[in-house]
Structure 1
Amino acid sequence: MALPTIPDYPLPTNLPAPRAPYALQPGRAALLIHDMQRYFCAAYGPDALERDASPLAQAAQGIARIAAAARVAGMPVFYTAQKGDQFRPDRGLQADLWGPGMQAIPEHEAIIAPLAPEAGDITLVKHRYSAFQRSNLERLLRARGRDQLVITGIYAHIGCLATAAEAFQRDVEPFFVADALADFSRERHEMAVNWVASCAGVPLSVAQATARIEGA
């Protein structure tokens, strides 16, 4: 039930054409940095951030670039982060698939250093795959006049995909930044990007996302 050991793989670069006509508009958008905690990132290996071939290193660099542009543009920046030592009934069915999860220690709970939250960023407590579940993410978006969500982080085919699907169902336009995400494998990563393109939102590259944010 533990997380797998994740091998290196190149992030997707050939993005599928989306069904959705959405165009990223920084004045309507917020950035989500999803589950970039040390516990989840450890699956990529102890030196993953130093290995250029690691999907974690590639994604972290892309996330940092988008986050820097988003903050300059005045876009809200949200993080999700689980708490350690979750009460078993609160953890729910996730315990059946993934076991007890992380401990309440900084080595598990902390966001990795290259992506540490800055002043003004908002960290949401994560309870389920989707960032919208048992959180006030939607209310915080609406209060800020935001109806677009730029999704980055890990893992693409689990929480990131679930968040994109739920954003769409809540009339929040999702943008899925393929090379600012990481996953268990290239195959699952591409599956997530293809699903979003066909059913919910718009895949983007880091270059495309930052160009839209900086250009505005």
Structure 2
Amino acid sequence: MALPGIPSYPLPTQDALPTARAPWTFAPDRAALLIHDMQRYFCAPFPQDAAPLPDIIRNIAALASAARANNIPVFYTAQEGNQLRADRGLQADLWGPGMSTRDEHQQIVPELTPANEDIVLVKHRYSAFQRSNLETLMRARGRDQLLITGIYAHIGCLATAAEAFQRDIQPIAIADAQADFDEPRHEMAMNWVAGCCGGVVSTQDVLANMPKVAACA
């Protein structure tokens, strides 16, 4: 029931992204950035020195820097270790007891350490909206568009995108700032989002539309 070992695979390229049914485009004054589950426990199954992990960390870091420079809220999700069985729920049947409270499990990878102004949400289920106040915090900041990065593309990232859509929040998956168990599942997740609930773009698509990207370099 533990997480599987993950082989190296290449991230989607710009010319391979699916065409989204939704007409939405990234709007800096409406967007928030989500960095989903980038904890050491979830990153450990990836090769540490080969694609996709180093690539998504670099892309997420660039997006987070640009978001902060443009006053775009940055949200993180992070699970807590040593969960009670009652709190972990059905996830325990599929994935076992989960992480411990050790830093090598709970800690967000150092390259993506949250800034003081960022908001870290406790993660309870696949979707970042479940048992959290993510929607309330977004609405209070006038945000109705969510840029989704992190892991895993076909599980929590996809569930979050689907729920955002059902809450009338526009989800945009950043294809090369997410990673998954393998290339087929990553591709499936991007196709599902594009066909059913949101936009699918590249890191460069977003950075090119940030007013103050140069200031983040």
Corresponding residue for residue 4 of structure 2: 4
Corresponding residue for residue 80 of structure 2: 83
Corresponding residue for residue 133 of structure 2: 136
Q: Distance in 2 between matches of 1:99 and 1:60?
A: 26
Q: CA deviation at 1:213?
A: 2.1
Give me the TM-score of the superposition, normalised by structure 2: 0.95
Q: CA deviation at 1:215?
A: 6.6
2:148 aligned with 1:151: yes
Corresponding residue for residue 204 of structure 1: 201
2:89 aligned with 1:106: no
2:22 aligned with 1:20: yes
Q: CA deviation at 1:212?
A: 1.5
Q: CA deviation at 1:141?
A: 0.3
Corresponding residue for residue 117 of structure 2: 120
2:68 aligned with 1:66: no
Q: Distance in 2 between matches of 1:62 and 1:77?
A: 14
Corresponding residue for residue 53 of structure 2: 56
**Residue segments in structure 2 that go unaligned for 5+ positions in a row:** none
Q: Which stretches of structure 1, 4 residues or more, deviate above 3 A after TM superposition?
A: none
Equivalent residues, number: 211
Name the SS of the counterpart of 1:212 in structure 2. Answer: coil
* Residues 119-175 of structure 1: CA deviation (Å, up to 9, x unaligned): 100000000000000000000000000000000000000000000000000000001
Give me the TM-score of the superposition, normalised by structure 1: 0.96
Percent identity of paired positions between Structure 1 and Structure 2? 64
Name the SS of the counterpart of 2:158 in structure 1. Answer: helix
Name the SS of the counterpart of 1:24 in structure 2. Answer: coil
Amino acid corresponding to residue 30 of structure 2 in structure 1 = R
